[in-house]
Amino acid sequence: MIVPRLIERKRDGQALDPGELRELVLAYAEGQVPDYQMAALLMAVYFRGLDRTEMNALTSAMLDSGRRLDLSRIALPRIDKHSTGGVGDKVSIVLAPLIACLGVAVPMMSGRGLGHTGGTVDKLESIPGFRTALSLDEAERQIRKVGCAMLSQTNEIVPADRKLYALRDATATVEVIPLIASSIMSKKIAESLTGLVLDIKRGSGAFLPELEDELALAAAMIDLGAQHECPVVALLTAMDRPLGWACGNALEIAECVEILTGGGPADLLEVTLALGAEMLQLGAVCSTAAAARQMMSAAIASGRAMRKLEEIIVAQGGDKRVLSDPSRLPQASHRATFAAARDGIVQAVEPRAVGYGVIELGGGRRNMEDKVDPSVGYIVTAKPGDRVVRGQPLATIYARSAGDLGNGARALEQAIVIGDGSPEPLPLVSHRVTAHGVEVIA
Ligand code: URA
């Protein structure tokens, strides 16, 4: 294999053979192809795309770069949920324990921050001691015992995705349907699921802001699932504003705790319940969304879901005391309120500007070697459509220095637009996509 030849052919718009792609991906996972060549190929794919045969070959190669979880001895349905990525999207951290306490095994493999979006793995690692890089044996044992494990890609499980994911994050090559689909589906198929629910983000803060592309991404992932006997249901949910209030790793963990104690932002709860209802129905735990919602609300109200989160944290070496005392999470040394500059109506809270603001504060990576500061970020309580008066607090900035507070405020000045019109934010959950077609919900 001569890698520059493959890059050249993709650059010039030709298709790569499945065998060539496989050899390349496996060699890359084993460290035999340098990042600079893979980055060039990713950029060529960004501009030229991959056809269906190439996407299938890429997904299989990524899957076969490591081993799969063996959960065959678990009698329960094995259902996971994955998001295409958003700002303030902490749904997985609420859903995993919530669904696992209702008779479904949840093997959940997630990623780190990607582009302007945060990552579940970075958020979990803000809990002191929490380990996401479990070995295959540890993960299998924990899922049998606790019903859930929250994992990152490792050298054993989808190592090709671990490396490609980090490389795409640092080279602006995230927003491509076949790269997103193969990244997500290789991880999910490696989990040996009996069903998968996808949260496809819609709107200006999504990797693919156009509805047409979001539906094409859903179709591609449903098709990849079908090839591996994994039924997939996808919901399209709003990412034209951040989800919930907290944006930043430790702040988002604290917000998950609020939801599991019956509080927290209504939009986050609603998206969580909508996705959870699909998971419980896919797992045949209940036959209607209404019954599923009742079960989930009862599990939150009784504290069962919170106890399951505690079990997961303990099993993965984390400090469970963060659940009763969130001040044990990493705390930023500097805080400031961001207030409305005028009277009016909030027209927009742009997720990309907020997400890049978090990175600017140190809560995300600018290159592959960067360390993330878990303490920094924003609590943005303003939502599009809110009527506000001059001086009213819209957000709090959490930073490492007074200088960073200023930078954080500048990002919010870009993100939060106040005007006089009546904005029309996207419906929280707008479409449901399955192998049978697309249903418009709102
Ligand atoms: N989530 C993933 O795991 N991969 C992507 O490419 C995007 C979101």
Report the C-alpha gap between 364 and 367 in whole angstroms. 9
Atom of ligand 1 nearest to the CA of 117: 8
Report the C-alpha gap between 405 and 151 in whole angstroms. 33
Average pLDDT over residues 349-363: 98
The yes-or-no verdict on residue 206 having pLDDT over 90 is yes
The predicted structure's pLDDT at residue 190: 96
Report the C-alpha gap between 339 and 80 in whole angstroms. 39
Going from the Cα of 3 to the center of ligand 1, the distance in angstroms, rounded, reads 25
Beta-carbon-side half-sphere exposure of residue 364 (alpha carbons within 13 Å): 28
Decide whether any atom of ligand 1 lies within 6 Å of the 176 Cβ.
Answer: no
Q: Among 46, 55, 121, 184, name the best residue to mutate to test ligand 1's pocket (greatest count of ligand atoms within 8 A of Cβ).
A: 184
Residue minimizing CA distance to atom 3 of ligand 1: 184
The predicted structure's pLDDT at residue 36: 98
Decide whether any atom of ligand 1 lies within 6 Å of the 42 Cβ.
Answer: no
Report the C-alpha gap between 332 and 126 in whole angstroms. 12
The yes-or-no verdict on residue 72 having pLDDT over 90 is no
DSSP string across 265-285: -HHHHHHHHHHHHHHHHHTTS
Atom of ligand 1 nearest to the CA of 187: 3
Sign of the CA dihedral running 355, 356, 357, 361: positive
Average pLDDT over residues 335-343: 98
The tens digit of pLDDT for each residue in 209-250 reads 999 999 999 999 999 999 999 999 999 999 999 999 999 999
pTM as predicted: 0.97
Q: Is 161 a catalytic residue?
A: yes
The tens digit of pLDDT for each residue in 27-68 reads 999 999 999 999 999 999 999 999 999 999 999 999 999 999
DSSP string across 104-164: -BEEEEE---BTTB--HHHHHTTSTT------HHHHHHHHHHHSEEEEE--SSSSHHHHHH
Q: Which two tokens stand for residue 186?
A: 């290789």
Percent of residues, the chain, with pLDDT higher than 70: 100
Instruction: Give the other-Cβ count within 10 Å of 428's Cβ.
Output: 18
Decide whether any atom of ligand 1 lies within 6 Å of the 114 Cβ.
Answer: yes
The yes-or-no verdict on residue 279 having pLDDT over 90 is yes
The predicted structure's pLDDT at residue 248: 98
Residue 169's pLDDT band (boundaries 50, 70, 90)? Answer: very high
The tens digit of pLDDT for each residue in 184-196 reads 999 999 999 999 9
DSSP-assigned letter for residue 433: E
- 190, 108 contact by CB (below 8 A): no
